[in-house]
Amino acid sequence: LQRNEGQKDSVDLSLLGGLLVPGFMKDSCLSRYQSYLYRKASQYRPSLHLISKLRAYEGLHKRCGPGTRPYINSERLLKPKQTGDLNSEGCKYVVWMSFSGLGNQIISIASAFLYAMLTDRVLLVEGGEQFADLFCEPYLDTTWLLPKDFTLTSQFSDFGQNSAHCHGNMLKEKLINGSSVLSLSHLYLHLAHDYNDHDKMFFCAEDQNLIKNVPWLIMRTNNFFAPSLFLIPSFEEELGMMFPEKGMVFHHLGRYLFHPSNHVWGLITRYYQAYLAKADERIGLQIRVFDEKSGVSPQVTKQIISCVQNEDLLPKLSKGEEQHKHPSEEDLKLKSVLVTSLTTGYFEILKTMYWENPTVTRDVIGIHQPSHEGHQQTEKLMHNRKAWAEMYLLSLTDKLVISAWSTFGYVAQGLGGLRAWILYKQENQTNPNPPCGRAMSPDPCFHAPPYYDCKAKRGTDTGKVVPHVIHCEDISWGLKLV
Ligand code: GDP
């Protein structure tokens, strides 16, 4: 398992080049200290500026986090009758509301965290019990979980695009301006896939300036909106220093924030040791079919096989005679393929194919799939543990194939720092040509970016403003960092 043998500095390795700090109780979060034994050291180092921002953020979170005096005072601002001296000591918050599937949650929390760092706010996540079951606490001596008794929690389900405190709605009704904003204790930010043009004004420097002193921002999002933060002039310089290599935002922040809990780490390590550790090469294949009813489609089967064989990820089948000469130990290569999918159809086809036929390279191909959950069941604990374990296992592979449009695959690609092969989406059941293509960077795609030039106050193609924010490989209107 010690894949990084020969490298002296195991402390540096386990702390991911300064991304993480020591001092945690090892047993409380094994993955924090053991992940480097399973994942090759990243070829991308976090910048010193990012590291110092993270350390500063940790200080802020500890000072302002749940249970502290500034937190208690800030929370009182939300109560109808405020009494006494409510000195929040400069603490401001952004609350991420629980929403969507696990992949969407992970990439949107990473975006909210980046936003919190840029705006000197503390990020709290409304995770419920599930969240603590899936992830370790990312910071020392404090919590990132929004306390259960948070004053506004009971109102969360009422927050929507038309609610009184919604930023977009207030803009539409012309209720928000430099002076009215001063009396606001909180604002609701609707940044989900279905947000409207008013909600999208969040991505304008002017609106950022307007809301910067509101103590509580409550955010509903399922998107990786980091690319559009890079287009806000007031954040540009800071982001440039934090991420000199642009398309690595999720790679660094994801590995910083998301450490599998011990339950999930058990699922990951047992599976890895049983099915992947001994392979000469590990291939990840994430198959996400959004039309659940269709079962196995011959077109999708064809697409998957042409992708993996054309790109030399898996060998072609040998049509000739069986070679009876026994290959020597050194010649024999084992490629283990980790398939993740809600159903077993494609897995069965691949497994049978590589069992029934020899390969032209004589490589031996093992096909494995940890679960087949049938459909998304976000409310179930073990279902989510498996989903998280599978995203993580995919991120440990040497070469990865993911499905277009899927945030599940984006998480695997980003954590692994991999440029995956993306299986393009089929239109009207016809095979895209080529069947797959290489991602430009490990970062996820922002599926629903704004198309607005805040300065000129008119629509614009935001994928053409700067060279490092361009349209995604899999969604032509999406934006990604490269
Ligand atoms: P997306 O819908 O592909 O963008 O990814 P999300 O993670 O946001 O939502 C899909 C959800 O469906 C996951 O969180 C899982 O609950 C479930 N799911 C989808 N694909 C898989 C899979 O391959 N394995 C498992 N275990 N669950 C999956």
The reply to whether 262 falls in a domain is no
Q: Is 4 in the pocket of ligand 1 (CB under 6 A)?
A: no
CA-closest residue to ligand 1 atom 9: 101
Q: Clarify whether residues 368 and 420 are in a common domain.
A: yes
Is residue 286's pLDDT more than 70?
Answer: yes
Is residue 438's pLDDT more than 50?
Answer: yes
The pLDDT value recorded for residue 80 is 83
Q: Clarify whether residues 172 and 251 are in a common domain.
A: yes
Among 118-127, 334-343, 382-391, 428-437, name the one with the lowest average pLDDT.
428-437
The pLDDT value recorded for residue 321 is 64
Number of structural domains the chain divides into: 2
The reply to whether 128 falls in a domain is yes
Q: How much distance in Å is there from the Cα of 387 to the middle of ligand 1?
A: 6
Q: Is 378 in the pocket of ligand 1 (CB under 6 A)?
A: yes
Q: Is 376 in the pocket of ligand 1 (CB under 6 A)?
A: yes
Q: Clarify whether residues 278 and 253 are in a common domain.
A: no
The reply to whether 424 falls in a domain is yes
% of the chain exceeding 70 in pLDDT: 95
Average pLDDT over residues 366-389: 96
Is residue 9's pLDDT more than 70?
Answer: no
Q: Clarify whether residues 276 and 253 are in a common domain.
A: no
Mean pLDDT of the chain: 94
Q: What is the pLDDT of residues 94-153, one digit of tens each?
A: 999 999 999 999 999 999 999 999 999 999 999 878 899 999 999 999 999 999 999 999
Q: What is the pLDDT of residues 297-341, one digit of tens each?
A: 999 999 999 999 999 999 999 986 666 566 676 678 999 999 999
CA-closest residue to ligand 1 atom 17: 376
Q: Clarify whether residues 321 and 199 are in a common domain.
A: no
Is residue 76's pLDDT more than 60?
Answer: yes
Ligand 1 atom nearest the C-alpha of 411 is 7
The reply to whether 17 falls in a domain is no
Q: What is the pLDDT of residues 154-205, one digit of tens each?
A: 999 999 999 999 999 999 999 999 999 999 999 999 999 999 999 999 999 9
The pLDDT value recorded for residue 85 is 65
Domain final residue, candidates 257, 288, 314 = 257
Q: Is 474 in the pocket of ligand 1 (CB under 6 A)?
A: no
Q: How much distance in Å is there from the Cα of 286 to the middle of ligand 1?
A: 10
CATH at 298: 3.40.50.11350
Query: Is ipTM strictly over 0.85?
Result: yes
The pLDDT value recorded for residue 222 is 97
The reply to whether 13 falls in a domain is no
Q: How much distance in Å is there from the Cα of 376 to the middle of ligand 1?
A: 6
Is residue 13's pLDDT more than 90?
Answer: no
Ligand 1 atom nearest the C-alpha of 104 is 8
Q: Is 24 in the pocket of ligand 1 (CB under 6 A)?
A: no
Q: Domain range holding 222?
A: 42-257
The reply to whether 453 falls in a domain is no
The pLDDT value recorded for residue 6 is 47
Average pLDDT over residues 397-414: 98
The reply to whether 208 falls in a domain is yes
Decide which of 85 and 465 is more confident: 465
Q: Is 190 in the pocket of ligand 1 (CB under 6 A)?
A: no
The pLDDT value recorded for residue 128 is 79
The pLDDT value recorded for residue 188 is 98
Q: Clarify whether residues 76 and 203 are in a common domain.
A: yes
The pLDDT value recorded for residue 319 is 82
Q: Clarify whether residues 122 and 204 are in a common domain.
A: yes
Q: Clarify whether residues 215 and 337 are in a common domain.
A: no
**CA-to-CA separations, 9 to 4, 5, 12, 15, 41, in angstroms, rounded:** 10, 10, 5, 10, 11
The reply to whether 325 falls in a domain is yes
Q: Clarify whether residues 291 and 166 are in a common domain.
A: no
Q: Clarify whether residues 163 and 242 are in a common domain.
A: yes
- Burial (CB < 10 A; 0-12, 13-18, 19+), residue 386, is buried
Is residue 292's pLDDT more than 70?
Answer: no
Is residue 87's pLDDT more than 90?
Answer: no
Q: Is 316 in the pocket of ligand 1 (CB under 6 A)?
A: no
Is the C-alpha dihedral spanning 163, 168, 172, 173 positive or negative? positive
The pLDDT value recorded for residue 37 is 96
The pLDDT value recorded for residue 113 is 98
Is residue 357's pLDDT more than 90?
Answer: yes
Q: Clarify whether residues 247 and 282 are in a common domain.
A: no
Sorting pLDDT into bands at 50, 70 and 90, what band is 210?
very high
Domain final residue, candidates 226, 257, 288 = 257
Q: Clarify whether residues 176 and 205 are in a common domain.
A: yes
**What is the distance between the alpha carbons of residues 157 and 454, in angstroms, rounded to a whole number?**
31
CB neighbourhood size of 73 (10 A): 18
Whether residue 434 is preceded by a cis peptide bond, meaning omega within 30 degrees of 0, is yes
The pLDDT value recorded for residue 83 is 61
**What is the distance between the alpha carbons of residues 136 and 127, in angstroms, rounded to a whole number?**
12
User: Taking the C-alpha atoms of 92, 189, 115 and 41 in order, what is their torsion angle to the nearest 10 degrees?
Assistant: 120
Among 5-19, 217-231, 304-318, name the one with the lowest average pLDDT.
5-19
Q: Is 104 in the pocket of ligand 1 (CB under 6 A)?
A: yes
Q: Is 475 in the pocket of ligand 1 (CB under 6 A)?
A: no
